[in-house]
Structure 1
């Protein structure tokens, strides 16, 4: 699945928020999880697979006992367009840190 399909599925299921957890398996292979408010895994992908590699749970990590430290929350309540601008853009950038905006940019 690609990230647009994942976002649309969440919106269709009336999910208002998801949390992104970047982690690694026991061998150090990086993965990204989309979690609900209790830390349950909703979707996941290997970081190296890019935005088209999303899969349904369970991953090798699975659910958490609550939200892990350092997760980022994404609001889906504003609809598909807004969610693709926020979560979709981050996923397209493979969750890399973007350079800071110059001070002259509004």
Structure 2
């Protein structure tokens, strides 16, 4: 853990507090989420040049968002795969129903 960078991050977050308060209440949660991303990577960010800590903060935010974006892409891909499987199952069931109805409902 790098408590020094965490203090710098806290100072940066505090300096944005008036901006946060000016946001609509519903948007404040998204602002907070950005700093959560920055906090998640504070240990790594502490290894960067302390002269420009905002670069580390912004990169940490981007990294957190990229991770989340890829996780969501994976979820969407899985859901699309499940959807395709369900459509195939539905088509098979519809075929069976049509076949059943075509035989007059006689099962065999």
Same fold (TM over 0.5): no
User: More strand per residue: 1 or 2?
Assistant: 1
Higher RCO by CA contacts (8 Å cutoff, separation 6 or greater): 1
TM bucket normalised to smaller: under 0.3
Higher helix share: 2
TM-score, normalised by the number of residues in structure 2: 0.24
